[in-house]
Structure 1
């Protein structure tokens, strides 16, 4: 694989990932805000600087995202007990519920829409799991792509914060022969 193809693949995987975490309830959140909430979820007690380092976002972007997320009640802030000038962030109960609901969603339906051959879609899910194992430093407690959680996801309360009413889902048209 050459560099250009790797970049194109990365862009497509980013698009698929955004489709996984963006729905009617999270439509009011930017992808950057979703990344910040997810980062703080995985690293409670983080400062803006900590988030900046882990996400690679500019400090101003993280600060703006944090302010918006706090306004929506998705992040809680407290003073650092060792340095009163620093603010430590944690996710609110509302955000924890939201992140758990997103993490529990299986990727297979999305892959099945993107790759119409069911066998190829399943193989793609398996390959993505293998790549995640090889390339991600610590996948954490989130379920893998091809092995969704069997427990039901908690109710998604984010819709109460900022989302319009959900539109009905439509199933994709079958491919024409």
Structure 2
């Protein structure tokens, strides 16, 4: 497998993952808000500036998203105890449970739809399970 094949596989797996999560039911959040939630899920107690740096969104977009999500009870903010000028962002317990419920859905059905042959679909699931065990997650931040 070369780098381009790996990138293509990664994109296809992301598509399948999104299908699984989307099947959990509709959400009332925009894709940008979903990206902010995903970033805060991965990096709790972070600043808006840090979210901007990781997502590549404009500061105004992230600030507006954080404000809307806070109003809807999905994010909470607090002053940084080490530097009162900074505001830290984290998911609420309600949002964390919702993210977990969506993310923890099994992918077997989506894979079965993507791979028409049932035996091959089971093989793909088994190979992905094995790959998940063999390939450790990136060491780029805390996990929630």
1:13-162 to structure 2, matched below 5 A, reads: 13-23=13-23, 24-26=25-27, 28-53=28-53, 56-60=54-58, 61-133=61-133, 134=135, 136-137=137-138, 140=143
Q: Give the superposed CA RMSD.
A: 2.6
1:59-109 CA-partner distances (Å, limit 9, x unpaired): 425434323322322101111111112111111132022112112211111
Question: Is the 1:48–1:59 contact (alpha carbons within 8 Å) kept by the matching residues of 2?
Answer: no
Q: Compute the TM-score of the two structures, normalised by the length of structure 1.
A: 0.64
What is the distance in 2 between the residues matched to 1:16 and 1:30?
Answer: 19
Q: Which structure 1 residue ranges, 5 or more long, are not aligned?
A: 142-177
What TM-score results when the alignment is normalised by the length of structure 2? 0.75
Work out the CA distance in 2 between the residues paired with 1:11 and 1:64.
29
Residue 112 of structure 1: SS of its match in structure 2?
A: helix
C-alpha separation in 2, matches of 1:34 and 1:20: 15
- Aligned residues of 1:18 and 1:31 also touching (Cα < 8 A): no
After TM superposition, give the deviation of residue 117 of structure 1 in Å: 1.7
Count of residue pairs the alignment pairs up: 138
Structure 2: which 5+ residue stretches go unaligned? none
Structure 1 or 2: more strand by fraction = 2
Structure 2 match to 1:9: 9
